[in-house]
Amino acid sequence: MVISAQPAQADPPTDAAWAVLAGVLDPEVPALSVVDLGIVRDVGRTADGVLDIVLTPTYSGCPATEAIEADIRAALAAAGLGPARIAYRLAPPWTSDWISDEGRRKLADYGIVPPPEAGTAVIRLHPRKLACPRCQSRNTERLSAFGSTACKSLHRCVDCREPFEHFKPI
């Protein structure tokens, strides 16, 4: 699975833009940058040299989509790379498989159980025995398919009794 569509040939402004985007955080899951999340599908330049950024939104109703676009514009402007053209691409739809390995590590460190790695198995809507991010016990249960945001489900550790969230595979 291609995680991101970095250009083959070197182009300093495009490379600089990728670096800036790697510092723009998802406002709903601030452990992750928009690059970790895999929503930046392409960074190129238009014929007149303007940065041309293609995003694939996560969930249809994600309220962060517009905030992310504003944050990206602000970050590029602050780095002297703006203004940019930002377009949205719906197909293929975003999948949690596009979250980078680094993104998965960051989620785990943040206390959110990451989705299974890309291509590992059939997507399980009812994941079996997730490991509790606090005590590592696998004696856990799902409380709800929806947690604090649409992209996360809510779980509970039966041993340490703490609730935790899981970034759902989609």
Partner 1 sequence: MTASIALKPSPDVAYVLRIADTCLIHAQRLAEWCGHAPVLEEDIALANLGLDLLGQSRALLTHAARLEGSGFDEDQLAFLRDERDYVNLTLVELPLRRGGADFADTQWRCLVVASWLLPLWQGLQASRDSELAAIAAKAAKETRYHFEHAADWVVRLGDGSEESMRRMRAAIERAAPYIAELFDDDEVDAAAAQSQLGPRSSALRDAWLARLQRVLADARLALPAQGAFRSHGKRGLHSEHMGLLLAEMQVLQRAFPGGVW
Cβ atoms 163, 143 nearer than 8 A = yes
For residue 8, the minimal CB distance to partner 1 (Å) is: 26
44 vs 127 by CB, closer to partner 1? 127
φ/ψ of 64, rounded to 5, equals -85, -10
Which of 59, 69, 102, 117 lies at the binding interface for partner 1 (CB under 8 A)?
59
- Give the footprint of partner 1 on residues 72-111 (CB under 8 A): 90-95
Centre a 10 Å sphere on the Cβ of residue 167 and count the other Cβ atoms it contains: 25
20 vs 41 by CB, closer to partner 1? 41
Size of the site for partner 1 (CB under 8 A): 24
DSSP secondary structure letter of residue 47: T
Q: Which helix (H) or strand (E) holds 101?
A: helix 101-110
8 vs 126 by CB, closer to partner 1? 126
Provide the mask over 3-42, with x wherever binding to partner 1 is found by CB under 8 A and - wherever it is not: ----------------------------------------
Alpha-carbon distance of 119 to 152, in angstroms, equals 20
Alpha-carbon distance of 45 to 35, in angstroms, equals 18
By the criterion CB under 8 A, which residues form the site for partner 1?
Answer: 59-63, 90-95, 125-126, 143-150, 154, 168, 170
